[in-house]
Amino acid sequence: ALMRLRADGGPPEPVLPAPWNVRNRVLEYGGLPWAGVARPSGGPLAVFTHFGDQRLYALEPDAPGAPAPRPLTPVSPVGGGLRFADPLVLPARGEVWCVLEEFTGEGPTDLRRLLVAVPLDGSAAGDRSALRELTDDAHRFVTGPKLSPDGRHAAWIAWDHPRMPWEGTELKLARVTGPDDTGDENAHPATLRSAVTVAGGPGESVPQADWAADGSLLFASDRSGWWNLHRARPRAGAVPALTDAEPLCPREEEFADALWKIGMRWFAPLPDGPVAVVHGRGAKRLGVLDPGTGELTDATGPWSEWAPTLAVQGTRVTGVAAGPATSYELVQLDTATGHSRVVAAAHTDAVDPGHYPVPEHRTFAGPGGREVHANLYPPSSPGRTGLPGELPPYVIWAHGGPTGRAPMVLDLEIAYFTSRGIGVADVNYGGSTGYGRAYRERLRESWGVVDVEDCAAVAAALGAEGVADPGRIAIRGGSAGGWTAAASLAATGPAGGRYACGTITYPVLDPASWAAGTHDFESRYVHSLIGPLDEVPGRYRERSPLRNAVRITAPFVLLQGLDDVICPPDQSERLLAALAGRSVPHAYLAFAGESHGFRMADTITRALETELALYIQTFGLSRDDLTALELR
């Protein structure tokens, strides 16, 4: 839903009725689906992508008669069609500049991505040729363009297979000129000329760039081993170039994160010079950085995690934030007063907060003494305790990605289990973001080893410390976390035999076949996670939970969306076939209409109740409010 907060106050209001759905499928995970601009007259102008047909639409909510959104782009019958993301609305030019993902065939990798200019007058609504290409498809992946304050330069980020964007990207810079190359930035139609790489490369990740009001270019880079903020200025000359970049606040902290979706924004320059930044080691908090002095002042309030969604209007910084006792809210910081307040989507407690766990961050020792970070959620329920002398059961959670991170915020799925006497340890295993490039790269060519070992190390420590019953520890994960959960159940050696049962959700189970059938964005991901298939085929067989299904003996639940194009159902179905005829207790639930990440309330309810039922039976818990789970 696209919502609106008016400048004069009042509650948020929808500007699009159902069934409009502001979402797109660029990279299959989706990218920034909308943008808006204020106009001197006529009210705001917004453009957005509609999930149903992936077209770009224009919306003028204050226009007389409140006209319906009008399409700006056509529908293509080829493959996944035409998809758009990260738009930049330019009313003076009469265009929207954005990323186009265009399928050229029926296969998931038959596509091209480039920057295009979409006419605001709707002339391209039925004519693909009216979409003006600003770049060619020399790079496999691009983010949307950012225009300099004087309109003379555009910057964007690009990268190519087999790299993922947290491994290496290129910051591109181009001159914006008229069709006759006169240098008139107001000429129409404008072109992007002489694009060059000004930062980044195969071993340097630049996940975001943006322009400051003074004309300098800000960008996040992990060239130091940490994603820190840098500043440079365009040089004069025919070929675009930058001055030497200077770090603005060099710290062993992250000022950005993994670029999983096009349009993520970890920093936002304010008009008067400071820069709003999301930063931290592990947890990401909001701060205001003075680029002249390097001084960084954090915003006050209970929010310990800020999403990469920063927006700036004058002295106000708006973002999405949460904390250990609050879900995600829309929060606004006034940098002039230092005051922060919730402006929309305010947290409300669905149940007595006494049912919420009180989490703590822990650092455990993994193999060889390496650090393993985890968020611990002990069981908690008002008026209820465990039996005297009894240690509680725990579930080890392995997050997806695997280049991701589990934030320590209120999660009602976690509270669902902790309020019923089951603790949760959410593990940020080696490969997770938030702790520098070296921590991320522990997983390089070690997927199925480091993640499995780190989760097992946390499980072993909880048992040894007397925090958890070592005989009643489960593992659970979805997507890449589903791989880790399945690989953990099939593990041998020190990491094997740790778990009484497991929950595996829309998993990767056989990396070789998964890479051949998944979407384009992750189709070469396994090259860095395991190694090039043609060079190390044995490694793929050794680590595949599917090919090692004979080693799985613990009960498990397998949950799968039937419309999933990222981790297709055949991965789960092949595991069931491999287990046919063997006495491994399991349950399989397949959900029609669900893709990668369950969204329907009924699906989420059934999945959670099934998972809890597995733990009740395996851990020997006593409950009479759930139907017994039938394990085949």
A 10 A CB-CB count for 293 gives 9
Residue 328 lies in a domain: no
Q: What is the pLDDT averaged over residues 147-152?
A: 95
Q: What is the reported pLDDT for 188?
A: 65
pLDDT digits (tens, 9 = 90+) for 507-540: 999 999 999 999 999 999 999 999 999 999 999 9
Q: What is the reported pLDDT for 40?
A: 86
**Range(s) of the domain holding residue 359:** 353-586+603-619
| Enclosing H/E stretch for 602 | helix 601-619
In angstroms and rounded to an integer, the radius of gyration of the C-alpha atoms of the chain is 25
Banded model confidence at residue 186, pLDDT cuts 50, 70, 90: low
Q: CA of 332: how far to CAs of 138, 311, 321, 346, in Å?
A: 40, 9, 10, 12
Q: What is the reported pLDDT for 385?
A: 83
Q: What is the reported pLDDT for 179?
A: 59
pLDDT digits (tens, 9 = 90+) for 251-291: 999 999 999 999 999 999 999 999 999 999 999 999 999 99
Per-residue pLDDT for 476 more than 90?
A: yes
Residue 382 lies in a domain: yes
- Poorest-confidence range of 59-68, 132-141, 213-222? 59-68
SS3 call for 120: coil
Q: Taking all residues of the chain, what is their mean pLDDT, rounded to a whole number?
A: 95
Q: What is the reported pLDDT for 187?
A: 56
Q: What is the reported pLDDT for 626?
A: 79
- Output DSSP code: residue 213: T
Residue 492 lies in a domain: yes
Per-residue pLDDT for 184 more than 90?
A: no
Q: What is the reported pLDDT for 10?
A: 86
pLDDT digits (tens, 9 = 90+) for 363-378: 999 999 999 999 999 9
Per-residue pLDDT for 117 more than 90?
A: yes
Residue among 260, 201, 266 nearest 228 (CA): 266
Chain centroid to CA 430: 18
Residue 368 lies in a domain: yes
Q: What is the reported pLDDT for 630?
A: 86
SS3 call for 577: helix
Residue 160 lies in a domain: no
Q: What is the reported pLDDT for 377?
A: 98
User: Where does residue 487 fall: left (phi above 0), alpha (psi -120 to 50 degrees), or beta otherwise?
Assistant: alpha
Residue 569 lies in a domain: yes
Q: Percentage of the chain surpassing pLDDT 70?
A: 98
Count of the separate structural domains present in the chain:
1
Q: What is the pLDDT averaged over residues 390-397?
A: 97
Residue 51 lies in a domain: no
Q: What is the reported pLDDT for 384?
A: 83
Residue 596 C-beta-side C-alpha neighbours within 13 Å: 20
**For 87-117, b where at least 16 C-beta lie within 10 A, e where not — what string?**
bbbbeebebbbbbbbbbeeeebbebebbbbb
Q: What is the reported pLDDT for 193?
A: 86
CATH number, domain containing residue 524:
3.40.50.1820
pLDDT digits (tens, 9 = 90+) for 302-320: 999 999 999 999 999 999 9
Kindly write down the DSSP assignment for every residue of 465-517, as one continuous string. TTSS-TTSEEEEEETHHHHHHHHHHT--GGGTT--SEEEEES----HHHHHHH
Q: What is the pLDDT averaged over residues 158-177?
A: 97
Q: What is the pLDDT averaged over residues 99-120?
A: 97
Residue 485 lies in a domain: yes
* For helices 480-489 and 450-464, angle between their N-to-C axes, nearest 10 degrees: 60
Q: What is the pLDDT averaged over residues 128-138?
A: 95
SS3 call for 147: strand
